[in-house]
Amino acid sequence: MTELIQNVIDGLGRGSIYALLALGVAVIFGVMHLLNFAHGELITVSGYAAYAAFSSGWSWFLVAPLIIVVSIVSALLIERVAFSRVRGASDFTLVLTSFGIHFLVSAVFVMYVGARVKTFSEPGWIADTYSIGPIAVEVFDTVVIAVTIVTLLATVAILQRTMFGLALRAAAEDFDTARLMGVNSDRVIRGAFALSGALAGIAGIFWLMRAGNTAPSAGIDPMLKGVLAALIGGLGSMRGAVLGGLALGVAEVVLRSQLPGEAAALTEGVVFALIALLFIFRPQGLISVAHAERV
Amino acid sequence: MFPELRRDVAFPVVGTLVLFALLVGGGLLYSALQDGAASDKLVTSMFIDAIMVIGIQIYIGNTGVFSFGHVGFGAIAGYTFALFAIAPAAKATRIAEAPFGLADVSTGPVTATVIAVGVTLVIAVIVGIGLARSGARSGAVAATVITLALLFVAHEVARSWVAVTGGDRAGLTFGIGDTLGSRMPIYLVLLATILVARLFAQSRSGRFAHAAREDDLAARAMGINPTVQQTVALLVSVVVVAVAASLRVYEVGSILPGLFFFNYTLLTLVMLVVGGRNSVSGALLGVAVITAARELARRLGSEGYEAFGVGLDGVPLDWIFREGLPRVVLGLAMVGFMIWRPNGLIDDWELDGWLRNRLRRADPRPTTRLEAAPKTRTELVATDVIVDFGGFRALDGADMVAASDEIVGLIGPNGAGKTTLVNVMTGMVEPSTGKVRLGEKDLTRAPSHEIARAGLVRTFQNLRLFSSLTVRENVEISWLVASRHRPASAVPGIDEIVDAAGLWEHRDRRASELDYGNSRRLELARAAALGPTFLLLDEPTSGMSDEESLEMITQVRHMASVVGAGVLVIDHDLNFITGICDRIYCLDQGAVIASGTPDEVQADAQVRAAYLGSMGPT
């Protein structure tokens, strides 16, 4: 029992980061029907920015906001250069565009920075823990969960209270109708990318703190977590994405500790297979945005 | 299996030989000009990539369903092949502890390939069932997710199941001198692969898959079960991919999890989309172009900007020409083509199709005037149909009878439930209660394609043609369904139908290039080519001028009579409806409020109140 509670708490820490990533994926899917395989590259780019900043002697207090800024700027840049040109294209085109960007970004870093892993120092408190009864809680997880809660509240406020949020929710519900109602599609899509960039930036801070390094292929992992969590949550649904992220985090930790020996290394594969099974057996129930076609 | 031997077998065989000669000739020419083992290796791997890419094209190109997973099938086949083909001595150092006695088996490469194909097919059947259940169709997220999951699970298993795969570090390696020594097997497989891909695309199954790729719903309405065609395409493509993967492992001489993962997925997908995923010629063109571009980039990158004797001394281009350029080129090619040319360099252009068009004499226009087919009287009956959408009751106990020797109209104000009734009859909306039968056959809740095969064929209000297929091919699709599933029906030839629809001049144009009126005519002709017992026409004159509508009356009558079908038609155009119908039903708020001859219905007070309003005669 203690172990389970321990697992759940560890899982929630992890899952919070996934939730932020997944929310970014869901926001983009909502406005563009794009499953963004390039989402993780925001963390690759900010990782290198962090590395450069550390090399010039910056501390985490300065690097953290830098990561957010770089992430937002990169998201907007990718939208401007690539995604704005394939708006409304077939899903085939959209998926391959984002897949291509994913590779392009990592290839550019291989070419100009090198394939080697670049390390930087993690903050001193990363491994500190405190205990509540028999349960050891990481300070890091506590910070992550607290920041995630604040971020989500802020996001909810933006979505509920601002015109942009209203437009975004309307666009996610039915883009064409939203446009007819006067929603400026350019602005909504750019705003969605900025929001997903900001969320990825905050997730990226923690991701990079934990990893303590970056590499050209560093984007694969966060991309997968974000996409998987968004898929669990039903893709278009933002609430679902957050829950999906938390579920994915907890599932990973629990599976890793419960699966026997060799199979534990298969955690990701198991999660992926489970998601595939969900899609096979409940394609309608899972994708809340797939409205029936009118004939 | 093949509709026309000359077009679908003879020309593809010729085209295959030419494509094969071009690719192999080009490769051999290159390695002759660039002597050295490196260029030989490059050309060999290009041939193997070509087999792999065509394998993927067979699925993605014909069905339009996107798959990340084919390289995952490659991983499964590659490991199976390696396990069986590598000599026990070479395995002993890495996987001596392998279960099931795998460390001691050795079957030789041919048997190993056969086993690899078998094992991969078993997995493919499971994945295929999954895809079918999820309702995979072009553009569905589910297919992307399921196939991506396959790629990942295959990769994870390869990494973690060290006892069998040698894991991430060791992998499996052939003994020295045991690898593929000659190119002959590659040539044979390549030739066979191109042929299979071309023949499949021309076959009945391939054509049905194309129809579903263009419009899933319309394909179902024409009696095609897309799931079957997609599964067939998947299995054919997986066989090719498994053989290609075996060859690749045999040629490389070893296998690690990374050999069939993201990088190879990217490479093969770029090759596929650059040339044009919808054609075999395109896939091969993409393989050649990307292999050349990658090699050029590699040499420019590693040797500075002097390669192939071309120097650019003095130009400060060091920032471009450096190591790592090939990957950047691949990424740029993928993004660039998706933005500017998503259908690739040549889209669905096919070498043998082009040859055939060049060599073809003008088709003789059919001379026989089509006679009216004899009609048998069959009744189409809908009884007490109720449909609820959430809280809204779209149909509230609608009853209707139409006989196949008459033309029946269905009118009613917007939202009366006319289209919903047709949707229920054709299996596209499930009724809460009620029955639909055609003759003695109960069609309630039957799937759309079975309803179409039973003889109830519809058209769509919002035009759903197979848009990238030609006019003749559109008609041919349903004609082929008829020849297979409605052998008893008397359907005239394809050309006769195209001609009777007044589309002879346009027969080789793509459906997407037709103007509105001709598109409507094609919808009608395509439905008629199925030799239906009943044609259900959903607003065949919507968007037409008065003159065109009147012409449509003749058209509908003519088409229905030459295939011997009854007609149930929904329309708003009263001149059209009263001009064409023997009887009319008027629906309002989901129920029939009046029926009878056009005059009777027009005179009915309830109808005038609900629908005609002030338009009725005063």
Place of tokens 């490469």: B109
At B301, the pLDDT band (50, 70, 90 cuts) reads confident
pLDDT of residue B322 exceeding 80: no
Cβ–Cβ below 8 Å for A269 and B153: yes
Contacting residues of A for B464, CB less than 8 Å apart: 295
Of A292, A284, A230, A288, which is closest to residue B133 (Cα–Cα)? A284
pLDDT of residue B617 exceeding 50: no
Q: What is the pLDDT of residue B318?
A: 66
Q: What is the pLDDT of residue B310?
A: 59
pLDDT of residue A151 exceeding 50: yes
Q: What is the pLDDT of residue A194?
A: 95
Q: In chain A, which residue's Cα lies nearest the Cα of B330?
A: A104
The answer to whether residue A88 neighbours chain B at the CB level (below 8 Å) is no
pLDDT of residue B321 exceeding 80: no
Q: What is the pLDDT of residue B420?
A: 92
Contacts of A216 (CB under 8 A, 6+ apart): A44, A106, A107, A109, A110, A113, A115
pLDDT of residue A181 exceeding 60: yes
Q: pLDDT tens for residues B197-243?
A: 999 999 999 999 999 999 999 999 999 999 999 999 999 999 999 99
Cβ–Cβ below 8 Å for A104 and B161: no
Domains and CATH numbers, chain B: 5-355 (1.10.3470), 379-615 (3.40.50.300)
Helices (H), B34-140: 37-63, 70-85, 88-95, 109-133
What number is the average pLDDT over the span B448-461? 93
Q: What is the pLDDT of residue A70?
A: 97
State how far the Cα of B84 lies from the Cα of B104, in Å rounded to an integer. Answer: 9
Write the DSSP symbol of residue B374. Answer: P
Burial A102-113, CB ≥16 within 10 A → b, else e: bbbbbbbbbbeb
At B314, the pLDDT band (50, 70, 90 cuts) reads low
What number is the average pLDDT over the span B32-44? 87
Q: What is the pLDDT of residue B308?
A: 57
Structural tokens at position A66: 């830098």
A293 domain residue, yes or no = no
State how far the Cα of B115 lies from the Cα of A72, in Å rounded to an integer. Answer: 51
A278 domain residue, yes or no = yes
Count up the domains in chain A and report the number. Answer: 1
Q: What is the pLDDT of residue B224?
A: 94
Q: pLDDT tens for residues B593-612?
A: 889 998 888 888 888 887 65
The answer to whether residue A263 neighbours chain B at the CB level (below 8 Å) is yes
Dihedral pair phi/psi, residue A5, rounded to 5°: -60, -45
Contacting residues of B for A82, CB less than 8 Å apart: 335, 339
Query: Which one-letter amino acid corresponds to residue B526?
Result: R
Q: What is the pLDDT of residue B306?
A: 61
What number is the average pLDDT over the span A252-260? 82
H or E stretch at A108: helix A91-112
Q: Residues 102..121 of A with a Cβ closer than 8 Å to B: which?
A: 103-108, 110-112, 115
Q: What is the pLDDT of residue B614?
A: 47
Averaged confidence pLDDT in chain A: 87
User: In terms of residue numbers, what domain contains A156?
Assistant: 2-286
At B99, the pLDDT band (50, 70, 90 cuts) reads confident
Nearest to B139 among A86, A91, A262 (CB): A91
Cβ–Cβ below 8 Å for B339 and A108: no
* Alpha-carbon gap: B328 to the closest alpha carbon of chain A (Å): 5
State how far the Cα of B519 lies from the Cα of B571, in Å rounded to an integer. Answer: 17
At B136, the pLDDT band (50, 70, 90 cuts) reads low
Cβ–Cβ below 8 Å for A295 and B462: yes
State how far the Cα of B573 lies from the Cα of B565, in Å rounded to an integer. Answer: 22
State how far the Cα of B240 lies from the Cα of A2, in Å rounded to an integer. Answer: 52
Q: What is the pLDDT of residue A232?
A: 85
Cβ–Cβ below 8 Å for A92 and B66: yes
Q: What is the pLDDT of residue A288?
A: 46
Q: What is the pLDDT of residue B313?
A: 56
Q: pLDDT tens for residues A14-34?
A: 999 999 999 999 999 988 888
At B34, the pLDDT band (50, 70, 90 cuts) reads confident
Query: Which one-letter amino acid corresponds to residue B615?
Result: M
Q: pLDDT tens for residues A188-209?
A: 899 999 999 999 999 999 999 9
Q: pLDDT tens for residues B467-486?
A: 999 999 999 999 999 998 88
Q: What is the pLDDT of residue B4?
A: 84
Q: Which residues pair with B586 in a beta bridge?
A: B411, B594
A295 domain residue, yes or no = no
At A285, the pLDDT band (50, 70, 90 cuts) reads very low
Cβ–Cβ below 8 Å for B149 and A86: no
* Alpha-carbon gap: A295 to the closest alpha carbon of chain B (Å): 7
Q: What is the pLDDT of residue B613?
A: 56
Q: What is the pLDDT of residue B211?
A: 95
pLDDT of residue B118 exceeding 90: yes
A292 domain residue, yes or no = no
Q: CB A124: neighbour CB atoms within 10 A?
A: 8
* Alpha-carbon gap: B70 to the closest alpha carbon of chain A (Å): 15
Q: pLDDT tens for residues B346-392?
A: 988 999 999 988 888 777 888 777 778 777 788 999 999 999 888 88
The answer to whether residue A259 neighbours chain B at the CB level (below 8 Å) is no
A174 or B286, which is more confident: B286
A80 domain residue, yes or no = yes
Write the DSSP symbol of residue B9. Answer: I
Q: pLDDT tens for residues B519-560?
A: 999 999 999 999 999 999 999 888 888 888 888 889 999 999
**Measured in whole angstroms, how far is the alpha carbon of residue B249 from the centre of its chain?**
30
Pairing of strands B583-588, B407-411: parallel
Place of tokens 């439905």: B527
Cβ–Cβ below 8 Å for A97 and B335: yes
Averaged confidence pLDDT in chain B: 88
The answer to whether residue A283 neighbours chain B at the CB level (below 8 Å) is yes
Q: What is the pLDDT of residue B469?
A: 94
A275 or A222, which is more confident: A222
| Percent of chain B whose pLDDT exceeds 90 | 54
| Residue A65's CATH number | 1.10.3470
Q: What is the pLDDT of residue B234?
A: 95
Nearest to B139 among A90, A235, A265 (CB): A90
Contact B407, B582 (CB under 8 A): yes
Cβ–Cβ below 8 Å for B334 and A103: yes
pLDDT of residue A274 exceeding 80: yes
pLDDT of residue A293 exceeding 50: no
CA angle at residue B248 from A101 to B290, to 5 degrees?
A: 40
Nearest to B145 among A90, A97, A279 (CB): A279
Q: What is the pLDDT of residue A287?
A: 45
At B338, the pLDDT band (50, 70, 90 cuts) reads very high
Contact A38, A223 (CB under 8 A): yes
What number is the average pLDDT over the span B260-281? 94
Contact B506, B514 (CB under 8 A): yes
Contacts of B563 (CB under 8 A, 6+ apart): B373, B489, B490, B491, B492, B528, B529, B531, B532
Nearest to B328 among A111, A235, A290 (CB): A111
A294 domain residue, yes or no = no
Contact A208, A67 (CB under 8 A): yes
Q: Which residues pair with B395 in a beta bridge?
A: B387
Query: Three-class SS of residue B203?
Result: coil
Contact B247, B186 (CB under 8 A): yes
Query: Which one-letter amino acid corresponds to residue B157?
Result: V
* Among the ranges given (A53-57, B137-141, B290-294, B332-336), the one the predictor scored with the smallest mean pLDDT: B137-141
Q: What is the pLDDT of residue A138?
A: 86
A7 domain residue, yes or no = yes
Of A114, A122, A127, which is closest to residue A213 (Cα–Cα)? A122
Q: pLDDT tens for residues A161-171?
A: 998 888 888 88
Query: Three-class SS of residue B535?
Result: strand
Q: What is the pLDDT of residue B488?
A: 78
